[in-house]
Amino acid sequence: MSLLAGLLALHIWKADLRTPFVYHDDALYYGLLVKTIVDQGGWLSNTHLGAPGILQLHDFPAADTLHLFTIKVMAWFTPNWAVLVNLYFIMGFPLIAVSALAVFRHFRSGYWSALAASVLYALLPSRLVKNEAHLFLDVFYEVPLAILVALWVCSDKPPLFRDRGAGKRAGIELRSRRSVAALVICLVTATTGVYYAFFAGVLLFLGGIWASVECRTLRNAASGLMLIGVIVAGLVAQGVPTYLYHLRHGTNPQVAARSAVEAETFGMKITELLLPTIAHRLPPLRRLKERYETPGRPRGEGAVTSLGLVGSVGFLFLLAVLLLTGRMPRGEPARDLPRRLAILNIFALLLATVGGFGSLFALLVTPQIRSYARMNVFIAFLALFGVVLLIERVVARFKRLSVILPVAILVVGLLDQVTPAAVRPYARAGKEYQNDAAYIHAIEATLPAEAMIFQLPHQIFPEAPPTPGQANLGYDLLHPYLHTRTLRWTYPAMAGRVTDAWLTDVAKRPPAALARSLADAGFEGILIDRLGYDDRAAAMESALRDALAAQPFVSGDARLAFFDLGAYNRRTLAGVSSEERARRREQTLPLLFLSFGEGCYGTEMGPNGPFRWFAETSTLQIENNSPRDRTATLSMTLFAAQPPSVVHLDGDLWSASLTLPPQGLSFSRTLTIAPGVHVIRFHSEGRSADAPLDPRNLFWHAENFLFRDLTNP
């Protein structure tokens, strides 16, 4: 039923499974992961991206091992990444519905009421509207199971413990069916994404404490903490490749840098839970939603978190249960299912709402969890469980309604939740997809295997910030890779790593110097996405025509322009010996790279030019990617936030103690850098800046910063 309802909601007969339903934005990131699995066998490294290096995703890992492994198995049957993405999204309908139905029936809910709620849950408005934009977040079959474990923790028989009778200490029991199921579910939750693992952990923690207070025993809280440990262990196990990578290459604070204020921007709002979904089929409800979504109002993911009419009734019912039900008598176990649901519901709401405890967590612990609006799938399941209980109460009095009422609620719910917004613009996406495919295949046919293509404009990956003079293309620069198997592309290269720094520098060079650098580095072409420039790349293309003495090959929709560097390379390198070519390549490619690690803040502009603040403890990382020692100079002028101050430097390249006078201290140091990664640690013994409105930890700043490779002057 859920699969049929989902296909009807999507108007699947209008779609082509060989074309992704969503061909822009975050959906392309999932396309990257899936195609990497198809091409490379894994998902953390891709030799066809990040040219002239290799894309390493260790700095931006996905804790979605179960999702990715499932797709890897599916890839045994088809190498088409778009088919895999589409099928996995469609598979979500029955997976979610069966998971929800199993939980409802575990608590002996009536079959028809459980069936109606399960199908409605599989077709949540947020899932239909976002579609493949957040593929793994919207195949949330683990969420009902995680809530089941939380309900067990809140009961008089929490997992992992057995009751030995009155007056006796409870013993640990790991072999019972409930304990084994809870352990397996926690591992599944840990391997299907960080967000839902975190949300589940919060409910286990708070639910366990509440039940321990109610039942006057520590078993519930201990059960919740032990199961949280299982989730954390699962997350840590998935992070081992990243930890090992960071040990070898250093950490990368430039990736996924978050601020606490983002928890407010991407928080949940009760208003958006209860309002109708986007593009509702009833004009009055559609206008009501549009009135709320006024221009200028901050919009995060909360705009698509509507519970729908049926879910809203269940949500309000659980709030009423919480308000109207008194405290249970002391010593009585928390057996009341409606009350347990209501408690978990209010905990979820207090965590996720704007200005709630999630904002405090982001401020005091870590801002890495920022999109608290994603808690809507937990609240939606709890709310629909409340609807099931309401139906059961009505059916208990009017048995003739045991089938009619659930079916009526299912029909009304589907009519409310399924809107035209669930139907993607398949024809438009298909036309763009096929146009790109034909164009990129034509380029691929003219180039040798493993040829490197430089993409313009260069854009930071992931989560590119705005760039003056350029439009933010999201992940659209992935389009060429998604249509090729033999070419190497510069995008994406991981921000904060050596290849991205080199690409950023080369992309800023004048077109003539750019072409010469690319020829020396061994590139075979330049691909320009005109939408990335305010002038649609008119100036860039004109300069490249002059520098290369060549005309671009333009795509059918006039968006992409390709310059073949073959003829230019032959002219430029004619008569150049292989030894000289190797020397030029070594001079051109990124062999020595300095990055700012933990405790280093971004570049700012001051009266004397650019400068950078540093925390009390900070690190610089220098990476030598060549097979031999290299020599470089490191120079800067250091100023204490409140002089005088002493800054201690420690590392295998340099150790010293520098006293910073009021006028600052200038120095220059020549370093001999062996192959590999080297870390210079700074520690200040001074006082932080007197800046009460600045939340940063500011102890000293550096001006006139210069790092220069002297090996190939």
The residue extents of the domains of the chain are: 2-18+80-422, 439-588, 592-709
Residue 403, Cβ neighbours under 10 Å: how many?
A: 13
Q: DSSP assignment, residue 687?
A: B
Pair 544, 456: CB distance under 8 Å: no
Task: State how far the Cα of 409 lies from the Cα of 310, in Å rounded to an integer.
Answer: 7
Three-state secondary-structure class, residue 162: strand
Residue 523 pairs in a beta bridge with 452
Rounded to whole angstroms, the Cα distance separating 77 from 73 reads 8
| Cβ atoms 291, 318 nearer than 8 A | no
The 10s digit of each residue's pLDDT in 136-154 is: 999 999 999 999 999 999 9
What is d(CA 18, CA 362) in angstroms, rounded to the nearest whole number? Answer: 41
Token code pair at residue 346: 């209010």
DSSP state of 277: P
How many Cβ atoms from other residues are within 10 Å of residue 447's Cβ?
Answer: 19
State residue 597's pLDDT score.
79
483 contacts: CB under 8 Å, gap ≥ 6 = 436, 437, 440, 441
Q: Could you identify the residue written with the tokens 């350029």?
A: 470
Given the DSSP bridges, would you call strands 617-624 and 592-596 parallel, antiparallel or unpaired? Answer: antiparallel
CA dihedral 323, 326, 332, 337 (to 10 degrees): -30
Q: Work out the number of other CB atoms within 10 angstroms of the CB of residue 280.
A: 25
Using CA atoms, how far apart are residues 200 and 203, in angstroms rounded to an integer?
5
Encode 212-252 in three state secondary structure: HHHHCCCHHHHHHHHHHHHHHHHHHHHHHHHHHHHHHHCCC
Rounded-to-integer distance, Cα 264 and Cα 42, Å = 35
Residues paired with residue 656 on neighbouring β-strands, in sequence order:
649
Alpha-carbon separation of residue 528 from 432, 519, 536, 538, 589 (angstroms): 16, 17, 9, 11, 21
Is residue 372 within 8 A of residue 273, CB to CB? The reply is no
Where helices occur in 483-589 by DSSP H, the ranges are: 498-507, 511-521, 538-548, 566-572, 578-588
Q: Which two tokens stand for residue 306?
A: 């509507």
Q: Which parts of the chain have pLDDT scores under 70? A: 163-170, 295-299, 326-335, 466, 468-470, 712-713
Both tokens assigned to 344: 């978990």
Q: What count of other Cβ atoms lies within 10 Å of the Cβ of residue 401?
A: 15
Q: Which tokens in the block code for residue 111?
A: 């079959």
Per-residue confidence (pLDDT) for residue 330, from 0 to 100? 41
Residue indicated by tokens 């992704």: 20
Q: How many CB atoms lie within 10 A of CB 188?
A: 17
What are the residues facing 612 on neighbouring strands?
603, 702
* Per-residue model confidence (pLDDT) at position 335: 54
> Is the Cβ–Cβ distance between 196 and 189 less than 8 Å?
yes
Neighbouring residues of 190: CB distance < 8 A, sequence distance ≥ 6: 63, 197, 230, 231, 232, 233, 234, 235, 238
The answer to whether residues 321 and 338 touch, using CB atoms and an 8 Å cutoff, is: yes
Strands 488-489 and 452-456: parallel
Nearest CA to 119 out of 402, 418, 424 is that of 418
Could you give the angle at the alpha carbon of 584 between the alpha carbons of 582 and 586, nearest 5°? 70
244 close to 278: Cβ distance less than 8 angstroms: no
> What angle, rounded to 10 degrees, do the helices at 511-521 and 498-507 form?
140
Which helix (H) or strand (E) covers residue 151, if one does? helix 142-153
668/621 Cα distance (integer angstroms): 17
pLDDT of residue 187: 96
Q: What does the alpha-carbon distance between residue 118 and residue 84 come to, in Å, rounded to a whole number?
A: 25
User: Hey, which residues does 650 pair with through a beta bridge?
Assistant: 681
Fold of 592-709: Jelly Rolls (2.60.120)
How many other CB atoms are there within 10 angstroms of residue 428's CB atom? Answer: 10
Region for residue 100 given its phi and psi (left: phi exceeds 0; alpha: psi -120 to 50; beta: otherwise): alpha
Output phi, psi for 367, to 5 deg: -90, 5
- How long a stretch of residues is the chain? 713
Cβ atoms 611, 675 nearer than 8 A: no
Q: Could you tell me where the beta strands, DSSP code E, fall in 263-321?
A: none
257: closest CA among 11, 460, 509, 103? 460
DSSP state at residue 464:
P
Which residues, 6 or more positions from 138, have their beta carbon under 8 angstroms from its beta carbon?
Answer: 89, 92, 126, 127, 130, 131, 132
Kindly give, in sequence order, each residue whose CB lies less than 8 Å from that of residue 601, ignoring residues fewer than 6 positions away.
612, 613, 614, 615, 696, 698
Cβ atoms < 10 Å from Cβ of 490: 29
Please give the Cα distance from 264 to 353 (Å, whole number): 8
What 3 state SS string does 662-674 have?
A: CCCEEEEEEEEEC
Across all residues in the chain, what is the average pLDDT?
90
Rounded to whole angstroms, how far apart are CA atoms 160 and 182?
Answer: 8
Amino acid letter at 644? P
